[in-house]
Amino acid sequence: MKKYYLLFIFIIVNYSFSQEYFSFNGTIYNEKSFKIFLKNKEKGIKKFKAHFIPNKIEKVKDSLIKYGTIAFLPREYELDKIYDNLLKPLPKFEIEKQKGGYFSSDSLVGKPTIINLWFTNCPPCIEEIPILNDLKQKYGDKINTIAITFQDRSKVMLFNQLHKFDFEILINAKKYIDSLGINGYPKIILLDKNNIIRQIPFGIYARDKNSSELLLKEFTKQIELLLNE
């Protein structure tokens, strides 16, 4: 019993030293200083709250560093719960394919994966399609690329007459998307070879050309890192 008791004490003490840090615009904050930083950002703004939206988490020894951006959103707005799943396995699925049959998440294991969550009436989703097609062309079979929507086959097929996807489209996935806690679109999820969620970028497209190029450059960098793991 003495050995088990000592092991229990070690775990509790070791856990107490772990910390979370937040990286924004090149500056890293501890949890307390970051809360103060966000409160200062909200000064003079009554209806909106400063939300930190993480897109990547790194483990450094016994600590976590969360990288992300800040968005001012209505105070009643809740962030998508998918962000809580960073560094966790993607929940398994078996979803209907646009071309017939079903697609299992188990088939993604072994390669990095880009998952695109979208729908046909979403303008930013449409803007991202050619970017995703270019990435598919660049990396080919080195990565998996799939698109998932809650919409049905007829709507997607009609949409595809004007907008072509160069990768698999999964449909009728409302139940699964809801289980992930997705509210905002488009949403990109980047998985590693073991289906662990490694990044949820805050978009890979922007109206400004320079911003779009920077977003794509950073996203491509993350893909390269996963390919080399």
What pLDDT tens digit does each residue of the chain (229 aa) get?
A: 444 444 333 333 333 336 888 888 888 898 889 888 888 888 877 777 887 877 788 888 788 888 877 777 777 667 788 988 888 999 999 999 999 999 999 999 999 999 999 999 999 999 999 999 999 999 999 999 999 999 999 999 999 999 999 999 999 999 999 999 998 899 999 999 999 999 998 778 888 888 788 888 889 999 999 999 8
pLDDT for res 139: 96
pLDDT for res 22: 87
Residue 55 contacts by C-beta under 8 Å, 6 or more apart in sequence?
67, 68, 69, 199, 200, 201, 202
Best CA proximity match to 199, nearest among 173, 180, 221, 183: 221
CB atoms within 10 A of CB 125: 21
Which DSSP string do the residues of 116-144 spell out, in sequence order? Answer: EE--TT-HHHHHHHHHHHHHHHHHGGGSE
3-class SS of residue 191:
strand
What is the number of residues in the chain?
229
Number of helices (H), then strands (E), in the chain: 6, 11
- Is the sign of the CA dihedral 56, 222, 205, 184 positive or negative? negative
**CA–CA gap between residue 225 and residue 165 (Å, rounded):** 25
Q: What's the whole-model pTM score? A: 0.77
Residue 68 contacts by C-beta under 8 Å, 6 or more apart in sequence?
22, 23, 24, 52, 53, 54, 55, 56, 202
- Residue 191: beta bridge partners? 113, 197
**CA–CA gap between residue 116 and residue 185 (Å, rounded):** 9
What's the token pair of residue 64? 């976590």
C-alpha distances in Å from residue 192, one per residue of 8, 58, 113, 198: 32, 13, 6, 6
**CA–CA gap between residue 198 and residue 192 (Å, rounded):** 6
